[in-house]
Amino acid sequence: METDITLNDGSCRLNKKGWTRNSALKLSVVDWMCDLPETIEQTDYVEVQFKNTRKGYYVNDQHLPLQKGDMVAVEAQPGHDIGEVTLVGKLVLNQMRKNKVDIQRLENRRVYRLARPNDMEKYEEAKSKEQATMIKARQLAESLHLSMKIGDVEYQGDGNKAIFYYIADERVDFRQLIKVFAETFRVRIEMKQIGARQEAGRIGGIGPCGRELCCASWMTSFNSVTTSAARIQDLSLNPQKLAGQCAKLKCCMNYEVDLYAEAQRQLPSKDIQLETKDATFFFFKADILRGLITYSSAPNMPSNLVTITAQRAKDIIAMNKRGEKPSILDDSSQEKEHVVVMDYENVVGQDDLTRFDKQKKRSGGKKRSKNHKKHHSNAQH
């Protein structure tokens, strides 16, 4: 007897409302309260996502039975827009507080209805014109000699309005450009300036770590990143390695900078030299998280490198201040007290490339020995 197991109980569909993120959307929120129906009744606000990373919050004053993944027609200026419901219930209020959305300004932003077939036809027709419009807009901006880049174009769901996202380093007077756009595309024009990081989030992509870009998957606010974050983490100041897809410094450089800064406070200053009875040692490099420092007997080149713990370096500095000099820089007895070395053990030999060959040799050797014994016994008979 076959039994069909369904993971859709009506209240928490794993492909739409649950924890599995819809890959077609960016900055999707995991609705971990989706299996609690009473949370949906606590608010009439819903989160609606449009193209790429643009989101909006609207009032469901008609109390439509909306669920995550529904396509709805919402109020816009002018006309209406088409978007996908990405969050309902109590978590919407949390997201609104997180994004600092003023609830009083949402009184006139309402959800009209669930998207009808004719609404979706207009929606698809408007979206199909975005790529050609963006290329034409770039040509028009270049013809007017404006120092700006049209990064993306987004049509409203009813096709009556188009948002042009642009990047510019300086202030741009695009009043003439708006007139040209309105005459060319016959729609209402809205210009919205974005940064290079926001453009990368709208376009999306894969980072050097092999995962989806943070700006396209979960980041909503972008803090400034400076080269000091690389210096604190002892990273190579190579612009090609530090730059992300947007040609700016990688946002992930700020993730662990506080941890490295705290660990670096436990290390002695790089400018302090260590004196022994035989030589003077200079700072060469440091393993910040492990608390290990490598010293060299030459100031500007690796020579007679010795790696000691931060505590051992502090002890030698204290001895030098008292006028004492140790005989050697590395004291293995003290190092064992302060450093716990986690050696990797190949327990079952899984990293040995010849492990299968050894088994074949053993099996072959046993087989040859058996044949040799059998041949020897036949020779005796």
Average pLDDT over residues 36-46: 75
Q: Are 137 and 173 in contact (CB under 8 A)?
A: no
SS3 assignment, position 265: coil
Name the one residue in this structure whose structure tokens are 């270049």: 142
Measured in Å, how far apart are the chain's first and last C-alpha atoms? 64
Please name the helix (run of DSSP H) or strand (run of DSSP E) that holds residue 241, with its range, or none: helix 239-242
SS3 assignment, position 348: coil
pLDDT at 132: 93
- Which residue from 82, 89, 86 is spatially nearest to 111, judged by alpha carbons? 82
Q: Is residue 262 part of a domain?
A: no
CA distances from 341 to 309, 331, 344, 350 (A): 12, 15, 9, 22
Q: Is residue 334 part of a domain?
A: yes
- Domain ends where: 115, 141, 159? 115
Q: Are 130 and 153 in contact (CB under 8 A)?
A: yes
Q: Is the predicted pLDDT of residue 87 greater than 70, yes or no? A: yes
Average pLDDT over residues 240-267: 91
For residue range 136-184, list pLDDT tens digits in order: 999 999 999 888 999 889 999 888 999 999 998 888 888 899 999 999 9
Name the one residue in this structure whose structure tokens are 């299968």: 356
SS3 assignment, position 206: strand
Q: Is residue 107 part of a domain?
A: yes
pLDDT at 368: 53
Q: Is the predicted pLDDT of residue 186 greater than 70, yes or no? A: yes
Which range of residues forms the domain containing residue 322?
Answer: 274-338
Q: Is residue 37 part of a domain?
A: yes
Q: Is residue 349 part of a domain?
A: no
Q: Which two tokens stand for residue 180?
A: 């040209």
Report pTM.
0.65
Q: Which two tokens stand for residue 120?
A: 């979706």
With 0-12 CB in 10 A as exposed, 13-18 as middle and 19+ as buried, what is 290?
Answer: middle
| Strand bridging mode 280-287 / 274-275 | antiparallel
Q: Is residue 350 part of a domain?
A: no
- Domain ends where: 98, 115, 132? 115
Q: Is the predicted pLDDT of residue 203 greater than 50, yes or no? A: yes
Q: Are 50 and 154 in contact (CB under 8 A)?
A: yes
CA trace torsion 329, 334, 337, 342 (10° rounding): 30
* Structural domain total, the chain: 2
Residue 239 pLDDT class (50, 70, 90 cuts) = confident
Q: Are 165 and 195 in contact (CB under 8 A)?
A: no
SS3 assignment, position 161: strand
Q: Are 48 and 57 in contact (CB under 8 A)?
A: yes
Q: Is residue 240 part of a domain?
A: no
Residue 103 pLDDT class (50, 70, 90 cuts) = confident
Average pLDDT over residues 93-113: 81
The residue type at 305: L
- Which residue from 42, 51, 50 is spatially nearest to 94, judged by alpha carbons? 42
CA distances from 55 to 51, 218, 258 (A): 8, 13, 31
The residue type at 352: D
Q: Is residue 258 part of a domain?
A: no
